[in-house]
Amino acid sequence: DQKEYDFEVLVIGAGPGGYETAIKAAQSGKKTAIVEAGSFGGVCLNEGCIPTKTLIRTANLYTEIKEAADFAITGIQKEQVSVDMKRLQQRKETVVKTLVNGVQALLRGNKVTVINGRASFVDSHTITVDGKTYTSEYFIIATGSVTFMPPFIPLEGNTNVITSKEALELEDIPKSIAIIGGGVIGIEFAHVFSHLDTKVTVLELMDHILPMVDEEVSEMVKKRMEKQKVEFYTGAKVRKVKDDSVIYEYQGQERSSQADVVLMAVGRTANTEGLNAEAIGIEFDKKAIKTNEYMQTNIPHIYAIGDVNGKVMLAHTASHEGFAAVSHILSKPEQVHYDRIPSCIYLDPEVACIGMTEKAAREKGYDICVGKFPMMANGKSLVEGDTEGIVKVILDKELGEILGVHLYGKHVTDMIGEISVAMNLEASAEEVIGSIHPHPTISEAVPEAFMAAWYGRAINC
């Protein structure tokens, strides 16, 4: 192609997918630009991963401070400890701002041209942003997602329905909250608000909360949250929200739950508003942009990565899909291994999982061996003051291949990375067992669970 374009790679959207992809393309020697309509860092930094974890940190600390006497700390009057939501919002803003500024500095430092405004396709090599036209040899669409508002749950009267975005901006702690959806977002908010002494009700259509987590683990999480007074209705079909009440069908009966606020958390949907993608012939699969394993759309020089392609809606998946798109542009194609994407749920204790659940592995016809190690038998968990949890390992019985690992315990979100490395290197059970884990750490529970699966016995249990 002899045509001169303004850029070699133009990325649309600067969420975790878009900005990391732009940096990668620039570092690979491509003349790169990025367009962002809103705030740099996308949903993840501004209204997703980072702000939720900031709220969770305060909720956990608040609970720990009230329990300080259990750790021999005196002088704290439980009744006098409280959370100042306005100051929590300020802290959240500071954290977000620091990271957003960091993203802009990284883009500049890597010589990515930054364009502010909303991009709209004119043709497959041209976009406009605020009346200005830009051309590029390749485009990478990374426009993310928005909260799905289900049309089958009508909102009647003067409702108090909010999405995760507004839930992160509350200036007062609600007395009660009803959460529609027991996926990761719903459960993380249930955790936050239950620890801030809000009465929490979770309504979930499926029989289990947290569908990506092994059922044995998700049941443990549910029981633990019930101790925190969260009320769960699984198998509940929400019919509508009317004024301040959620009306739902539960065990054959119509019920209603009144709440100060109702959080809609039944999922997210691809965001292509104003992009004009359909008009230039980009194919969709429902709302999401259809892509192949290299993230190419049906127009080969246009890629779509992250939430907008609807594959897996996680920040780290978005950036890895972006790297796959860049390597394809560089003619060194690499694929994303969707069977090895870690998922974390930031509760206290935390949940982290990768690969298949026991049920999924059996349904797929694998001959498996399963090993478990309870955190109760882990010294560091006892020191930490919370022995709730388990490491559950699912292996291929013949080869010792790791099929799935599910962790529930203190700080386990910081541990799942090692399983990701092990799976990526196609490590066997024996290789994980033979890798020395330091003592005393929660991570010692990992080789123990592998021993339980592979040899039928752990050492410390």
Interface with ligand FAD (CB under 6 A): 12-18, 35-38, 42-44, 48-49, 52, 118-119, 142-145, 164, 185, 271, 274-275, 306-308, 313-316, 318
Please report how close the Cβ of residue 135 comes to ligand FAD at its closest, in angstroms. Answer: 16
Helix, strand, or coil (residue 43) = helix
> 32 with 14: CB under 8 angstroms?
no
Distances (CA, A) of 386 to 61, 72, 77, 376: 14, 15, 22, 8
Please report how close the Cβ of residue 145 comes to ligand FAD at its closest, in angstroms. Answer: 5
* Amino acid letter, residue 393: V
Q: Please give the order of strands across the beta sheet that includes 350-355.
A: 343-345, 350-355, 402-409, 390-396, 368-374
E strand or H helix at 327: helix 315-329
Q: Please give the order of strands across the beta sheet that includes 245-250.
A: 155-156, 237-242, 245-250, 253-258
The residues assigned a catalytic role are: 439
Q: Which is nearer to ligand FAD, 185 or 351 (CB)?
A: 185
Please report how close the Cβ of residue 142 comes to ligand FAD at its closest, in angstroms. Answer: 5
Place of tokens 């027991």: 182
Q: Which two tokens stand for residue 244?
A: 């301040």
Q: Which two tokens stand for residue 123?
A: 């043709």
Q: Which is nearer to ligand FAD, 17 or 355 (CB)?
A: 17
Residue with the shortest CB distance to ligand FAD = 144
Q: Which is nearer to ligand FAD, 48 or 371 (CB)?
A: 48
Q: Which is nearer to ligand FAD, 271 or 381 (CB)?
A: 271
Place of tokens 């499926």: 206
* Numbers of helices and strands, H then E, in the chain: 13, 25
Please report how close the Cβ of residue 338 comes to ligand FAD at its closest, in angstroms. Answer: 14
- Pairing type for strands 199-204 and 231-234 reads parallel
Spatial distance between the Cα atoms of 179 and 193, rounded to a whole number of angstroms: 11
Q: Which is nearer to ligand FAD, 18 or 400 (CB)?
A: 18
Please report how close the Cβ of residue 174 comes to ligand FAD at its closest, in angstroms. Answer: 17
Select from 219, 453, 213, 221 the least CA-distant residue to 355.
213
> 32 with 113: CB under 8 angstroms?
yes
Spatial distance between the Cα atoms of 119 and 70, rounded to a whole number of angstroms: 55
Please report how close the Cβ of residue 39 comes to ligand FAD at its closest, in angstroms. Answer: 6
Residues comprising the chain, all counted: 461
DSSP E strand stretches across 13-118: 32-36, 113-116
Q: What is the DSSP letter of 119?
A: E
Q: Which is nearer to ligand FAD, 89 or 441 (CB)?
A: 89
Q: Which is nearer to ligand FAD, 17 or 374 (CB)?
A: 17
Helix, strand, or coil (residue 268) = strand
Place of tokens 């977002």: 185
Distances (CA, A) of 324 to 26, 159, 201: 14, 43, 41
Q: How far apart are the first and last CA of the chain?
A: 65
Select from 440, 434, 459 the least CA-distant residue to 449.
459
Please report how close the Cβ of residue 301 comes to ligand FAD at its closest, in angstroms. Answer: 18
Q: Which is nearer to ligand FAD, 315 or 356 (CB)?
A: 315
What is 234-246 written as a DSSP string? ET-EEEEEETTEE
Place of tokens 């374009």: 5
Q: Which is nearer to ligand FAD, 267 or 379 (CB)?
A: 267
